[in-house]
């Protein structure tokens, strides 16, 4: 029965040993007899859960596939991801869902769950949650006229609903030539009004909902504790005024806002007002990003989120407690995943952090680039998935296909 020891995060840092068997934590004590791996002063911390990634399989494997995406996540300290249904074909039917499951099941390096999309009706699937868009960006568009019916049907399934909150009627479909114009086309009011409408309609239904990638402090205050809220690393760190190697690197939906709004959103994050930090990992090839007008929206991020935040902990910009809540505890609780904390009975998923070892972000995604490249970070010294070490000193040593699907 393996045992690892170090400064374990158990709500606070304490010297402890953790014993695990069959992929689960079975004992936590100051000392446990037997053969052990002692990490000394390194921190043993729950590994991250990223509730919002686009691993592009099926349909766009040339950008990312389930093996490359989960491998990149693992090296960056993420042992569980929730993959979105924006595939080709879109995952809006049980048939498409089951075919996706077959296609990816032998490729995942970490544990995973899948969203199901909704077009005209809510189909029963083994998904962890459903996803809709209030903007007409794909097949999963839901009009406000249909929203109450969708909320009621999702509630019957007993699963959460994730919402891309930008009102279609508010969006300008003019071609944007730069980040400022893209922000203007999909103005902050499109998000704020969408949030208001969703909360108003859901007050009659009370479905469990998660607002994805919120970009404004006004939306955060409106939602308060009425629903779950996610914020991305790129909306916290970048604005429409940021300079990128290629400007379309920063083209995302919803858009990067102006610097003033970014700072206010960041303050909400620091104050602990946003429950979940998510990457919205959405890779595209470099050549697809060269022309701003035609460039698809999205950027990679699952390979940067946790390492950058670990560096911010070292610099005392954020606390270990805040990070734990946003990438471990709250995602696990909201989506019903048996991970996210070092407790007896939980999955033995953890990372080992040497805060003395500072690195710089390097692209790990198949797409080969990152807006965060060169940013100071701390990569995990080791990563454990259900008690098995899958990353050691930045090298993936796990096995393709070992990841399990969570329903």
Q: Where are the alpha helices (DSSP H) in 271-404?
A: 305-314, 320-324, 330-335
CA pair distance 168, 134, nearest whole angstrom: 6
Residues 6 or more apart whose CB falls under 8 angstroms from that of 94 comprise 123, 124, 125
Residues 6 or more apart whose CB falls under 8 angstroms from that of 288 comprise 295, 296
Q: Considering 280, 303, 347, 354, which one is annotated as catalytic? A: 280
Residue-wise DSSP of 242-292: ---SSGGGG--SSPP--HHHHHHHHHHHHTT---EEE--B----GGGGSST
Helix and strand counts by DSSP (H, E) for the chain: 11, 18
Q: Quick check: helix, strand or coil at residue 328?
A: helix
186: number of CA atoms within 13 Å, CB side? 29
393 as an active site residue: the answer is no
Q: Would you please indicate which residues are annotated as catalytic (active-site) residues?
A: 280
């Amino acid at each position: 029965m393996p045992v690892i020891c170090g400064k374990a995060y158990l709500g606070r840092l304490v010297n402890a040993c953790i014993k695990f068997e069959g992929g689960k934590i079975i004992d936590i004590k100051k000392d446990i007899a037997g053969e052990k791996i002692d990490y000394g002063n390194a921190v043993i911390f729950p590994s991250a859960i990223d509730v919002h990634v686009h691993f592009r399989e099926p349909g766009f494997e040339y950008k990312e596939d389930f093996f490359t995406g989960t491998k990149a996540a693992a090296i960056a300290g993420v042992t569980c991801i929730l993959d979105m249904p924006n595939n080709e074909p879109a995952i809006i039917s049980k048939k498409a869902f089951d075919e996706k499951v077959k296609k990816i099941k032998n490729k995942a390096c970490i544990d995973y769950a899948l969203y199901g999309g909704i077009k005209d009706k809510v189909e029963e699937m083994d998904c962890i949650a459903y996803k809709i868009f209030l903007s007409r960006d794909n097949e999963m568009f839901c009009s406000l006229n249909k929203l109450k019916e969708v909320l009621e049907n999702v509630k019957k399934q007993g699963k959460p609903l994730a919402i891309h909150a930008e009102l279609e009627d508010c969006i300008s479909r003019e071609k944007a030539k730069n980040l400022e114009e893209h922000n203007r086309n999909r103005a902050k009011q499109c998000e704020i009004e969408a949030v208001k409408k969703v909360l108003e309609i859901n007050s009659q239904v009370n479905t469990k909902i998660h607002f994805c990638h919120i970009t404004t402090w006004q939306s955060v205050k409106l939602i308060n504790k009425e629903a779950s809220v996610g914020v991305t690393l790129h909306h916290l760190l970048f604005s429409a005024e940021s300079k990128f190697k290629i400007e379309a690197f920063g083209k995302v939906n919803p858009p990067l806002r102006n610097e003033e709004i970014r700072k206010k959103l960041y303050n909400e994050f620091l104050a602990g007002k946003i429950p979940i930090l998510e990457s919205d990992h959405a890779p595209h090839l470099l050549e697809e990003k060269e022309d701003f007008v035609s460039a698809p929206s999205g950027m990679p991020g699952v390979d940067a989120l946790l390492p950058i935040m670990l560096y911010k902990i070292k610099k005392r910009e954020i606390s270990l407690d805040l990070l734990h809540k946003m990438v471990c505890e709250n995602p696990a609780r909201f989506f019903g995943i048996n991970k996210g904390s070092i407790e007896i009975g939980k999955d033995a998923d953890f990372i080992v952090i040497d805060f003395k070892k500072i690195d710089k972000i390097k692209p790990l995604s198949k797409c080969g680039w990152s807006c965060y490249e060169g940013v100071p970070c701390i990569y995990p010294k080791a990563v454990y998935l259900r008690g098995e070490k899958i990353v050691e000193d930045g090298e993936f040593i796990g096995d393709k296909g070992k990841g399990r699907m969570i329903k």
